[in-house]
Amino acid sequence: MASILVLSSAPSTQVLPALELLSHQVRRIPAEATQLIGAPESDVLVIDGRVDLAGAKSLCRLLRTTGQETPLLLVVTEGGMSAVSGDWGIDDVLLAEAGPAEADARIRLAIARYEASAEPSRVQASGISIDEQSYSAKLHGKPLDLTYKEFQLLHFLATHPSRVFTREQLLSEVWGYDYFGGTRTVDVHVRRLRAKLGDQEQIIGTVRNVGYRFNVYDDEADAAAG
């Protein structure tokens, strides 16, 4: 049995009726980040996005950027499903009409994924240090001021060092298959990321007519020479 905390500011209706048919312990609080202060511990946070989709997106992203590690499940209507993308910071999405079997499976899988990655994980290469738990990155010990998407792009490339990815592959892996923008989005984010890397911008390499890769250097001298 899981402990589930539902964040919703909608009138007292069931956000996910299927939960009533399951044995999980469910509590509900207003959909505000400040409400989590002093709130009971939970295994999963369920965010209500049925009515205020923009507000739900902002809340999900705020929870992630402030270090919330509990799995986030977003509940939306059929019409809201198409607006959800990878940069929301959620772990899974459910239709409000989902049945108990589906809801239970997604809850269990979200918890299992969280437990599998509970140990702090860091990526270190070419002077870059990435903390997956705090969504932060440093270059030679100096914090990098990255947007959420820039962080995701750097993280993806750094975890696949020296491997070349096409723009289409990066768009799919980092932005998600349902992203409607073009591949120029990748170029723009690579340019911004390189600008923040300063004189170490060559860490993100370009393979002409193919795409991008994370260049691996043994030390700072190699990076400067590259």
SS3 annotation, the chain: CCEEEEECCCCCCCCCHHHHHCCCEEEEECCCHHHHCCCCCCCEEEEECCCCHHHHHHHHHHHHHCCCCCCEEEEECCCCHHHCCHHHCCCEEEECCCCHHHHHHHHHHHHHHHHHCCCCCEEEECCEEEECCCCEEEECCEECCCCHHHHHHHHHHHCCCCCCEEHHHHHHHHHCCCCCCCCHHHHHHHHHHHHHHHHHHHHEEEECCCEEEECCCCCHHHHHHC
pLDDT of residue 179: 65
Top-confidence residue, 114 or 161: 161
Mean pLDDT of 22-26: 92
Confirm whether 3-117 and 124-214 share one CATH topology. no
CATH code for the part of the protein at 124-214:
1.10.10.10
Domain boundaries, the chain: 3-117, 124-214
Q: Measured in Å, how far apart are the chain's first and last C-alpha atoms?
A: 54
pLDDT value at 35 more than 90: no
Task: With cut-offs at 50, 70 and 90, classify the pLDDT of residue 118.
Answer: low
pTM of the model: 0.53
Q: Does domain 3-117 have CATH number 3.40.50.300?
A: no
Q: Taking residues 64-87, report their average pLDDT.
A: 89
Residue 124 phi, psi dihedral angles, 5° rounding: -135, 125
pLDDT at residue number 86: 85
Residue 42 makes CB contacts below 8 A (sequence gap 6+) with 3, 4, 5, 27, 70
Tokens of 21: 């048919």
User: Residue 156 is encoded by which pair of tokens?
Assistant: 């993806």
- pLDDT-derived band at 221 (thresholds 50, 70, 90) equals very low
Q: How confident is the model at residue 119 (pLDDT cuts 50, 70, 90)?
A: low
Question: Which pLDDT tens digit goes with each residue over 173-207?
Answer: 888 755 666 788 999 999 999 999 999 999 999 99
The pLDDT > 90 percentage for the chain reads 63
When mean pLDDT is compared across 3-17, 37-51, 109-123, the lowest value belongs to: 109-123
